[in-house]
Amino acid sequence: MALEIINSRYSEITKNLNDLILIILSKEYPLKIGEICLRLRREFNVKLTFQAVRKSLNILVDKKILVFKDKAYAFNKNFILDQKRLMDVM
């Protein structure tokens, strides 16, 4: 789902929900679904259903970008290390 986000910190650009979730989790983690929904509303003025956010989070977990532990979501450290290695090669 593409969202038109106008925010001076992140420039005027079309982002999808997964991008916004990753931006939020890059600032603070781990976060529960309710906390992520609240930050989406406050920081980006995006009003999405709890189910839409949960579905996107589950997709990110399936792709092994995020991990779900103790009812909270955080970045998968292996994913971060793999991305770093890829950037070092480039």
Mention every residue, 6+ apart, whose C-beta is less than 8 A from residue 21.
Answer: 36, 40, 53, 56, 57, 60
pTM value is 0.82
The pLDDT of 13-37, averaged and rounded, is 91
Question: What is the rounded radius of gyration, in angstroms, for the C-alpha atoms of the chain?
Answer: 13
The pLDDT of 14-23, averaged and rounded, is 87
Q: How confident is the model at residue 47 (pLDDT cuts 50, 70, 90)?
A: confident
Residue 36 and residue 42: Cα distance in Å, rounded? 10
Q: Which of 34, 32, 37, 35 is nearest to 70 (CA)?
A: 32
Tell me the per-residue pLDDT of 50-86, one tens digit each, with 9 for 90 and over: 999 999 999 999 999 999 999 999 999 999 999 999 8
pLDDT-above-90 percentage for the chain? 66
Query: Does pLDDT of 10 surpass 60?
Result: no
